[in-house]
Amino acid sequence: MNAFLSSANKEEAWTALEEKVKSCTRCGLSASRKSVVFGQGNKNSRLVLIGEGPGAEEDEQGIAFVGKAGRLLTQILSSVGIQREDVFIMNIVKCRPPGNRVPSPDEMMACSPFLEAQLALIRPEIVVCLGNTPTRWLLRTSEGITALRGRWFQWRGIFLIPMFHPSYLLRNESRKKGSPKELTWRDINSVKEKLDGLKKDFRPTPGAEGKNTDA
């Protein structure tokens, strides 16, 4: 779609999309939110990170990943030379679920058109799913993050890799071999290697959703 958009038209499309998201009442989360967390970063990024949903600090500020987990995510990216402002960060749902519970299928379905539109406009080469919720939603699987993390998949012509959510790492301090933090170090290095290995305009051949490439 956006391959034929001028930069001006693309910006107009982003503005229109953000206005729709911010006025959305498609599910019950709109009733309790303080802010809509649309997502932020480089709208032309080759790399997109997708989390579950806004937490308390995100709901207050309207920005994705600004709490402790967000600060850790920034450190994880920086550890391999990726600057946070160079990527785009968003969530499966744009409003905070009460008590930070997992979004319901109906809530994720209501937000899905917005997520799809964002990805269509950005056209990233790599998507990182942070945690169970975005991984299961995009790959349409019941497998958990422990089994799927670190594995490369093709999703609609995009390379996709699941990683542990930073909030999980905050609850698991160990850095021993095989620990969540050590595995995340491996995974973010894999992301960096893949990003560096892809040519700027390269897109993998579209395959079935959730096809494991092990590449």
Does residue 37 contact residue 63 with C-beta atoms inside 8 Å? yes
Which amino acid, 116? E
Question: Which band of pLDDT confidence, cut at 50, 70 and 90, is reported for residue 205?
Answer: very low
Rounded Cα gap, residues 187 and 23, in angstroms: 36
Q: Is the pLDDT of residue 95 over 70?
A: yes
Question: Which band of pLDDT confidence, cut at 50, 70 and 90, is reported for residue 188?
Answer: very high
Range with the poorest average pLDDT among 24-28, 178-182, 197-201: 197-201
Question: Which band of pLDDT confidence, cut at 50, 70 and 90, is reported for residue 210?
Answer: low
Rounded Cα gap, residues 180 and 170, in angstroms: 10
Per-residue pLDDT at 3: 47
* Three-state DSSP string of the chain: CHHHCCHHHHHHHHHHHHHHHHCCCCCCHHHHCCCCCCCEECCCCCEEEEECCCCHHHHHHCCCCCCHHHHHHHHHHHCCCCCHHHCEEEECCCCCCHHHCCCCHHHHHHHHHHHHHHHHHHCCCEEEEECHHHHHHHHCCCCCHHHHCCCCEEECCEEEEEECCHHHHHCCCCCCCCCHHHHHHHHHHHHHHHHHHCCCCCCCCCCCCCEECCC
User: What distances in angstroms separate CA 195 from CA 123, 131, 181, 209, one per listed residue?
Assistant: 14, 20, 21, 20
Question: Which band of pLDDT confidence, cut at 50, 70 and 90, is reported for residue 214?
Answer: low
pLDDT tens readout for residues 148-164: 999 999 999 999 999 99
Per-residue pLDDT at 204: 46
Per-residue pLDDT at 85: 97
Q: Domains of the chain, with CATH numbers? A: 2-197 (3.40.470.10)
Residue 153 Rama label (left phi>0; alpha psi -120 to 50; beta): beta
Rounded Cα gap, residues 129 and 48, in angstroms: 9
Per-residue pLDDT at 7: 73
Per-residue pLDDT at 213: 63
Q: Is the pLDDT of residue 208 over 80?
A: no
Per-residue pLDDT at 173: 87
Q: Is the pLDDT of residue 5 over 70?
A: no
- Provide CB contacts within 8 A for 177, sequence distance 6+: none
Q: Rounded to a whole number, what is the distance in angstroms from the first to the last CA of the chain? A: 27
| Average pLDDT score over residue span 189-206 | 76
Rounded Cα gap, residues 166 and 61, in angstroms: 19
Mean pLDDT of the chain: 92
pLDDT tens readout for residues 7-63: 779 999 999 999 999 999 999 999 999 999 999 999 999 999 999 999 999 999 999
| Average pLDDT score over residue span 109-113 | 98
Q: Helix 105-122 and helix 7-22: axis angle, to 10°?
A: 170
Per-residue pLDDT at 168: 97
| Average pLDDT score over residue span 84-94 | 98
